[in-house]
Structure 1
Amino acid sequence: MNTSRVLLLAIVGCGLFLTGCQSSEKKDENHKEEKVEENIPDNTLTEAEKEDGWKLLFNGEDPEEHWRGYCKDGFPEKGWTVENSAIKVIGSGAGEAGHGGDIISKKKYRNFELKLEWKVEKGGNSGIFYLAEEQCGEEGEPIWKSAPEMQILDNENHPDARLGENGNRQAGALYDMIPAEPQNANTHGEWNEVRILVYQGTVVHFQNGEKVLEYHLWTDDWKEMVANSKFDDFEGFTDVAKEGYIGLQDHGNDVWFRNIKVKEMTN
């Protein structure tokens, strides 16, 4: 092999080597960027979320900015706190007789996506309400009598998991009406990621990255479901409001909420 050919092969080989190195470096850089996006601090928005119109409903420090007590002017003075950058329901030790009361968003929402993370203590129970109405005064009604509820539950230890029908009181369910399938909730003390989509009557629940149920408000199927549930006797539940509050339930157990985000959609 002559000297010129050896030199040419060396140059080509070196070029390929450098190209491969540059390609590898670019992949590494892209991978690093993805990891940075994935590992953002809790209770913050990614750049993609900001561009997509998501808003924070809790900044990790100040729940009073976006939340107040149900039928109250301000945030509850007892029963709720912030712990490790999460909104926490402080268990009352008296079951459903929570001592702080439910909280609701300060703003009403019509068509939207809501996402958040929750965890409960052993045997814990709570819920996420949406399209809720506020019925106050002497003849007022609790939030759960007007609003659909995505169930929060320790399926392994709370007896409600075995009540109802076909698991329709387990985590992720439309409470007492539609079970979450698949049932993929994490156990007590572990975080669960959920998302609720509400758009022109169509409602979808997602739990830990999977769609678990879908239904359609104000339809004949909806009316039949209500008639076969514990909500049949509650005036107004069949005609759920087309715009309402988001609510977090105080059911008397320790529950934590973080990364609460909402995106409104046009009609």
Structure 2
Amino acid sequence: MRKYIILMSVIALVWGCKQKDKASEGIEQRTEVVTEDAWTHLFDGKSFDGWHTYLTDTISDQWKIKDGVMYYLPDPDQNQGMNNLITDKQYGDFELSLEWKISVDGNSGVFYGILEDEKYVVPYMTAPEIQIRDYTNIPEFNDKKQMSGAIFGITGPEKDLMHKAGEWNHFLIRIDHKNNKGSVSLNGKEIVSYPVNGEAWEALVNDSKFKGWENFGTQRKGHIGLQDHAHGVWFRNIKIRELE
């Protein structure tokens, strides 16, 4: 009997190890290894090369660079809301990684799929926006579609995972038209997943303030943008990986 028990224990141990190996193999197959070489930096930490203000070829002096950080400090004596920065290049399917921080009660965002056309005064008119917002003085705020990481006015997270105003946060934004999936990870956790085209996307738009907006969210390739919303906002380590 003792030999039988030992034999069965050995068999169980071997079987368990094989199952564990299979499970590990499955995880490895599902995990995509991305090296640093796969990323292209959109901000060199020293200049605005590769960027311009929407509909112009200049950069407002309210946008500044210091110590590898690109930031916007609004001047009350100058025009606001019209100084949105966008990339010179257009992107279709990609992952965008960047760090950001916002001022107390500040508001800003990251756009994708921007259609740069004089018909549209600001990127907001055609491009979905990944929201950046602080609610320090609005403790009762609970609009999920306006929380940091939300696709503004479209869909949002269950709760706000943003660090407090003045502290750095990280976005990983994935836009994959081929597989019709967009996602936003905030500080290492995926908080939003949604369709980016087709009937499912149109249904989300039609259930929002953007219903009927010409060309809103229709571009499968467009500029990426950083929003001027008349509040202080800071960005660094901006890089992109185009999906095949």
- Please say whether Structure 1 and Structure 2 have the same fold, judged by a TM-score greater than 0.5: yes
Residues 80 and 100 of structure 1 are in contact (CA less than 8 Å); yes or no, is this contact kept in structure 2?
no
Is residue 93–residue 253 contact of structure 1 (8 Å, CA) maintained in 2?
Answer: no
The structure carrying a bigger strand percent of its residues is: 2
Residue 140 of structure 1 and its aligned partner are, at CA, apart by: 3.3
**Superposition map of 1:120-159 within 5 A:** 120-136=102-118, 139-157=119-137
Deviation at residue 220 of structure 1 after TM alignment: 2.2
Q: Is the 8 A contact 1:79 1:99 kept in 2?
A: no
CA distance in 1 between counterparts of 2:203 and 2:221 reads 22
Q: Deviations over 1:1-48 (max 9, x none)?
A: xxxxxxxxxxxxxxxxxxxxxxxxxxxxxxxxxxxxxxxxxxxxxx93
> Is 1:77–1:100's contact at 8 Å kept on the other side of the alignment?
no
> 1:261 — aligned with what?
239
Q: For residues 224 and 188 of structure 1, do their structure 2 counterparts lie closer, same or farther at Cα, with a shift above 3 Å needed?
A: same
Aligned partners of 2:136 and 2:196: how far apart in 1?
A: 30
TM-fit CA distance, 1:237: 1.2
Change (3 A) 1:223 1:114: same
Q: Distance in 2 between matches of 1:228 and 1:175?
A: 13
1:185-200 residue pairs with structure 2 within 5 A?
A: 185-200=162-177
Match of 1:62 among 32, 47, 50: 47
- TM-score normalized by structure 2? 0.79
User: d(CA) in 1 for partners of 2:120 and 2:159?
Assistant: 36
Paired residues, number: 209
Greater C-alpha radius of gyration: 1
Distance 1:227 1:215 in 2: 15
After superposition, give the CA deviation of every residue in 1:206-253 in whole Å (9 maximum; x if it has no partner).
100000111112232221211121111311115x10100000000001
Is this contact kept in 2: 1:168–1:176, CA < 8 A? yes
* In structure 2, distance between residues paired with 1:112 and 1:57: 13
Any unmatched runs of 5+ in structure 2? 1-33
Gaps of 5+ in 1: 1-46
Distance 2:216 2:112 in 1: 12
Q: Give the CA RMSD over aligned residues.
A: 2.2
Residues 196 and 263 (structure 1 numbering): CA distance in 2 closer, same or farther, change over 3 Å? same
Q: Percent identity?
A: 32
Q: CA deviation at 1:166?
A: 4.0
SS in 1 for 2:65: strand
SS of 1:106's equivalent in the other structure is strand
Aligned AA for 2:124? W
Q: Counterparts of 2:138 and 2:101 in 1: how far apart (Å)?
A: 14
Which residue in 1 is equivalent to 2:30?
none
Q: TM-score, normalising length from structure 1?
A: 0.73
Worse overlay, 98-107 or 169-178: 98-107
- Other-structure match for 2:36: 49
Query: Cα distance, 1:142 vs. partner?
Result: 1.4
State the shift of 1:123 in Å: 1.0
User: Retained in 2: the 8 A contact 1:115–1:260?
Assistant: yes
Structure 1 position 199, deviation (Å):
1.1
Report the Cα distance in structure 1 between the residues aligned to 2:185 and 2:166, rounded to whole angstroms. 20
Task: Give the Å deviation of 1:167.
Answer: 1.7
Give distance in 2, aligned partners of 1:78 and 1:246.
20
SS in 2 for 1:60: coil
Q: Distance in 2 between matches of 1:166 and 1:81?
A: 31
Alignment of 1:1-267 (within 5 A): 48-50=35-37, 53-63=38-48, 65-74=49-58, 76-93=59-76, 98=80, 101-136=83-118, 139-157=119-137, 162=141, 166-200=143-177, 201-237=180-216, 240-266=218-244
Cα offsets for 1:58-80 (capped at 9, x unmatched): 111112x1111101123x13221
